[in-house]
Amino acid sequence: MQDLRLTLVQTTLHWQNPDANYAHFDTLFEKIAPFSSDLIILPEMFNTGFSMQTQYAQELSESKALAFLQKHAHAKDAALLATCMIKEDNYFFNRLLFVEPTGKVVWYDKKHLFRMAGEDRFFRAGTKKVSHTWRGWKLLLQVCYDLRFPLGSYNQYFEKEDTFLYDVLLYTANFPKARKQAWNSLLPARAIENSAYCIGVNRIGKDGNGIEYEGESAAFDPKGETLWKASNQEVIHNLSLCYQTLQSYRNKFETHKDWDKI
């Protein structure tokens, strides 16, 4: 199994201004060489910031956000991961899109909606756990507030097949400065309890509600040890995950054989 090459993009976002965000990410993508990455991860609601203004939502088939991600996924020969507002059957979703270079889309609708900001009043919660295999790696898709709820990210070990539900846990977020202790504590905890790599990509700057974000995007190995940690600045970081290292750890420290059955 080849290493999984990730590109983590931590940046500020233009408040409720999709066109400005598309132009901004166009500039950032110029810094990423084609064929250099397997998966590029952007912050939550990459084209609007964490907004409840559902007039920015579009049907998936008409989504400018999706078309933008498809264009760059094709150009870079890498999958792209980001959320945006999607309208479907008169409901609105904070939808995490996993966009492959061919244009194929797999999505996860954010399950845990941040009620303290009223997200649950404007968006419909997802109901399905989504694990997707990409270039041989099994990835679990999660969004921001999901981080606080361990059952949503609970890994599974299938003894007969000697396989796991996922190898890498991915969070894309707008996690504010005021709650960075939870962000910094729970990301390594999720890695440890699930014997998996855990990646969190956050934003920086201040949004239109005056909420500040300090980034601190990070990557952790299955022991909860830090592979990389960002500070409060814009950064495009390349990181490779080793499958052999993951399997070696799982073989030596078999906590998965004692996991609770749920």
Q: In Å, what is the CA distance from 235 to each residue of 26, 145, 204, 224?
A: 15, 23, 10, 22
Strand runs (DSSP E) across 123-245, as ranges?
Answer: 131-134, 137-143, 157-158, 163-164, 168-172, 197-201, 204-206, 212-214, 218-220, 226-229, 235-241
* pLDDT above 90: residue 261: no
Quick check: pTM over 0.85? yes
Taking the C-alpha atoms of residue 47 and residue 34, their distance in angstroms, rounded to an integer, is 22
Q: What is the mean pLDDT of residues 14-25?
A: 98
Domain 4-258: CATH superfamily is Carbon-nitrogen hydrolase (3.60.110.10)
* pLDDT above 90: residue 105: yes
Query: Is the separation of the CB atoms in 172 and 215 below 8 Å?
Result: no
Q: What is the pLDDT of residue 185?
A: 98
| 64-94: b (≥16 Cβ within 10 Å) or e | ebbebbbbbbbebebbbbbbbbbbeeeebbb
Output helix, strand, coil percentages for the chain, rounded to the nearest 5: 30, 30, 40
Tens-place pLDDT, residues 196-214: 999 999 999 999 999 999 9
Q: What is the pLDDT of residue 250?
A: 98
**What percentage of residues in the chain have a pLDDT greater than 90?**
99
Q: What's the burial of 257, exposed, middle or buried (CB within 10 Å: 0-12/13-18/19+)?
A: exposed
Tens-place pLDDT, residues 108-124: 999 999 999 999 999 99
Task: Kindly give the interhelix angle for 18-29 and 64-76, rounded to the nearest 10 degrees.
Answer: 0
Taking the C-alpha atoms of residue 147 and residue 221, their distance in angstroms, rounded to an integer, is 16
Tens-place pLDDT, residues 177-186: 999 999 999 9
Task: Give me the active site residues, please.
Answer: 44, 110, 144
Q: What's the burial of 134, exposed, middle or buried (CB within 10 Å: 0-12/13-18/19+)?
A: middle
Taking the C-alpha atoms of residue 153 and residue 166, their distance in angstroms, rounded to an integer, is 10
Provide the residue ranges of all domains of the chain, joining segments of one domain with +: 4-258
Taking the C-alpha atoms of residue 246 and residue 250, their distance in angstroms, rounded to an integer, is 6
Q: How many CA atoms lie within 13 A of 139 on its CB side?
A: 28
Question: In terms of Cα–Cα distance, which of 25, 24, 45, 9 is closest to 209?
Answer: 45
Going by C-beta distance under 8 Å and a sequence separation of 6 or more, which residues neighbour residue 8? 41, 199, 201, 217, 219, 228, 230, 235, 236, 237, 238, 239
Tens-place pLDDT, residues 140-158: 999 999 999 999 999 999 9
